[in-house]
Structure 1
Amino acid sequence: MSSPESSRRALLTAALYGAGAVLLTSCGEGNASPPASAPPASDTSDTAAEARIRVTDQRGKALEFDRQVTRVVTIPMPAASLLAAVDRGTGHLAGMHNASWVAMRDGAMGTMFPEALKIPHDIATTDFTPNVESIRALDPDVVVQWSDSQLTAPLEEAGMKVLGIKNTGTQQDVDTWMSLFAAMLGQPDRAVQMKARSDEEQRAIRAEAQGRRSPAPAIIYFNRFSGGLKVAGQSSYNDFYIKLVGGSNPATGPHGLTGSGMVGVDVEQVLAWDPDIILLGNFDDAMPNDLYSNPVWQSVSAVKSRRVYKVPLGGYRWDPPGQESPLMWRWLSDISFPSVQPSSLRAKIDGYFDFLYGHRPTRSETDKILWNEINGQSANYGQFNAS
């Protein structure tokens, strides 16, 4: 009969297979003592084999490490903060994309982990082309990169291990990234815990949406507003969570756009859609007052009812998929279907940040995450005020 520990390992391995981490032969310090049949300490050959970590990335490429990784360079923008959440710190982050660093500087991560702002971040161009020499100088165990062969090949040709990841605009991507990172760091249980908590939050939000009788508000997300309009179209993560909370996205409706992802539009198209709610993303500096004060937008329902909101910025931007997405779902649900009662979001932020980062934000830190001062001029935002 198998032991409770062996059963636990079997369940954990099955969970990681489904999320993208193919095989973890050693789970590090979290493991129980080895079985009685383990080789004696003097026999190091089998012990070294057991310590190897094997993962298969989203390209289907297998990578093997002879120990838990300790130096990771991340190029995809969400990857740096996600690694920090899995690791509950930035000690194993050796380099990151400049856009990741900017989000840390402007968001909560720089406050929680001020040492992260000293990490090199000149390692890739804005289109994710790696600066091979700069990255090689950081001596990474692995480089996390988007899976496009043009982006991975220069690194691999230089002799570096590359973990290729994809972004298909689904929550499953986040689950996979978490599992891959947790496996490399020797902390597979961490990914299981993070996914379980995210799944629980998603079930709760979905149940609330299905139980409502209120009409679905029309919600537009601007990925870019300043210098050219881009909205979330088909197959975007933003379209997913707009519909998750019970809203509708005119950009993917009957009179929507044919393109997928972030699609350029003109002002006339947005005026024709006449959205009830407008979300301004964190990839440019647009703020609600840019619409409230501009005569061009005065006929739009979202402007007339003052329902224009800057998306929160926490450990990372809440716009794309990430470890704080459950908080984004709650925030969007509450502004889409406001209650006369105070929102539970501040308490959720407190608990979630403690779980992810070992940090409970102060009142002013939470105000900053939620853009309380800027969004405070918009309707129903008082529900997020501290009691």
Structure 2
Amino acid sequence: MATTDLNRRAALQLLVAGGSAALLAGCAGTPGSPPSSGPATNGGNGGNGRISVTDQRGKTLTFARPVTRVVTIPMPAASLLVAVDRTADNLAAMHNASWVAMRDGIMGTIFPKALALPHEIATQDFTANVESVRALDPDVVIQWSDAQLIDPLEKAGLNVIGLTNNGKQEDVDAWVAMFAAMLGKPERAVDIKSRSDLELAAVKDLAAGRNSTGPSILYFNRFTGGLKVAAANSYNDFYIKLVGGTNPATGDDPLKGSGMVGLDVEQVLRWDPEIILLGNFDAAMPQDLYSDPVWQTVSAVKNRRVYKVPLGGYRWDPPGQESPLMWHWLSDIAFPQQRSLLRNKVTEYFDFLYSHKPTAAELDKVLWAAANADSDHYRQFNAA
């Protein structure tokens, strides 16, 4: 057997045996995701063919066979399950926000049957409609780890895997490992994590090799109907700093609180960010800021450095299977290139995740090419 095969087998054994547990240190959860209630480990197939999975509450579930009917309530979970599985066949239902991302992004094009699945199974705050979920007869329900969200489902006799979001890459790794184990595809988790780790190292090396200080970057989770930005203990703060940027919401004049925090226009004007990112949780576009007199003194607006975050198989702003693509995109936004290699990387990554090579038009849609066309240096992402 080749050395690479031995290394891969060793990595697989570590992952499914719980090697990720130590990475999930307790840390305040982001709003929209309940706080962590414990570390997570993942079990593998036992000698009798049964599958054990320990969720991020520390609760172990055992399945007699790989699951085939999964209901997902946390927003990233539906597309993540599809990416791990490379099919939507085992997805039984999802949260409406997950469905909207599939409809508006590329996932609904790649897996059109997913758009026909039930998606009115929980409220906006993730409270499940227990009767609707039970009627679907799922093998397992994926839910945030808050006891108030999980208890009604478990009291109804449903198997529930609890997830936490501490704003860390290790959470994504844990979710992937759990999903791969319960689907009977633990080796898929090894492949996804290995590729993600390589991309993370590459982005870190790029940042370390720069002599200049990075720009200040402010991420808006919500823009229309009330401003919310990424503060401490958010995944967005992690990747802003990863690429070498600074986040004014966690800088010398930080916001109180963690996760996504509300604020007023005056605070943004005081910060004067050099780059503004608009997330995919509302319809705000760069032109909305460019045309609004309120924002004209902000450096990001004056210099046309406002960008809509890409929307692929899922939104690139929160943690997910396409996060490595977000890291590379943001690196090129912060430190523009003459010609970005991102389109090629997206094509390769989508083939790896979904067995789908996007067309030029699909890549333009993922990257919001039209919406970002008037923003500085966005031509670097155009097709050759």
| TM-score, normalised relative to structure 2 | 0.92
Whether the aligned pair in 1 keeps the contact of 2:11 and 2:190 (CA below 8 Å) is no
Partner Cα distance (1:5, 1:177) in 2: 24
The root-mean-square deviation of aligned C-alpha atoms, in Å, is 1.4
Whether the aligned pair in 2 keeps the contact of 1:23 and 1:55 (CA below 8 Å) is yes
1:182, distance to aligned residue in structure 2 (A): 0.1
* 1:350 corresponds to 2:347: yes
1:6, distance to aligned residue in structure 2 (A): 9.4
Match of 1:314 among 289, 301, 312: 312
Q: Which residue of 1 aligns with 2:383?
A: 386
Whether the aligned pair in 2 keeps the contact of 1:52 and 1:67 (CA below 8 Å) is yes
Q: Which residue of 2 aligns with 1:329?
A: 327
Provide, for residues 265-320 of structure 1, a one-character-per-residue CA deviation record: whole Å limited to 9, x for no partner.
11010000000000000000100011000001000000000000000000000000
Q: Which residue of 2 aligns with 1:12?
A: 12
| Superposed counterparts of 1:83-232, under 5 Å | 83-232=81-230
Q: Which residue of 2 aligns with 1:23?
A: 43
Partner Cα distance (2:106, 2:11) in 1: 35
Whether the aligned pair in 1 keeps the contact of 2:224 and 2:284 (CA below 8 Å) is yes
4+ runs of 1 displaced by more than 6 Å?
4-8
Q: Which residue of 2 aligns with 1:31?
A: none
1:158, distance to aligned residue in structure 2 (A): 0.4
Q: Which residue of 2 aligns with 1:255?
A: 253
Q: Which residue of 2 aligns with 1:69?
A: 67
Aligned length: 361
Corresponding letter in the other structure for 1:82: L
Whether the aligned pair in 2 keeps the contact of 1:21 and 1:183 (CA below 8 Å) is no
Provide, for residues 64-119 of structure 1, a one-character-per-residue CA deviation record: whole Å limited to 9, x for no partner.
00000000000000000000000001000001000000000000100100110001
1:10, distance to aligned residue in structure 2 (A): 5.3
SS in 1 for 2:277: strand
Corresponding letter in the other structure for 1:252: T
Corresponding letter in the other structure for 1:101: W
Uncovered stretches (5+) of structure 2, i.e. residues with no partner = 21-39
Between structure 1 and structure 2, the one with the greater Rg is 1
| Superposed counterparts of 1:285-304, under 5 Å | 285-304=283-302
SS in 2 for 1:12: helix
Whether the aligned pair in 2 keeps the contact of 1:79 and 1:144 (CA below 8 Å) is yes
Partner Cα distance (1:202, 1:63) in 2: 31
Whether the aligned pair in 1 keeps the contact of 2:41 and 2:56 (CA below 8 Å) is no
Structure 2 CA distance for partners of 1:6 and 1:141, relative to 1, 3 Å = farther
* 1:375 corresponds to 2:372: yes
Partner Cα distance (1:226, 1:207) in 2: 36
| TM-score, normalised relative to structure 1 | 0.91
Uncovered stretches (5+) of structure 1, i.e. residues with no partner = 27-48
* 1:360 corresponds to 2:357: yes
1:24, distance to aligned residue in structure 2 (A): 1.1
| Superposed counterparts of 1:278-289, under 5 Å | 278-289=276-287
Partner Cα distance (2:269, 2:49) in 1: 59
Corresponding letter in the other structure for 2:372: N
Q: Percent identity?
A: 67
Q: Which residue of 1 aligns with 2:36?
A: none
Partner Cα distance (1:5, 1:242) in 2: 35
Partner Cα distance (1:8, 1:66) in 2: 26
Corresponding letter in the other structure for 1:154: P
1:9, distance to aligned residue in structure 2 (A): 5.3
Whether the aligned pair in 1 keeps the contact of 2:285 and 2:308 (CA below 8 Å) is yes
SS in 1 for 2:244: coil
Partner Cα distance (1:246, 1:167) in 2: 23
Whether the aligned pair in 2 keeps the contact of 1:169 and 1:235 (CA below 8 Å) is yes
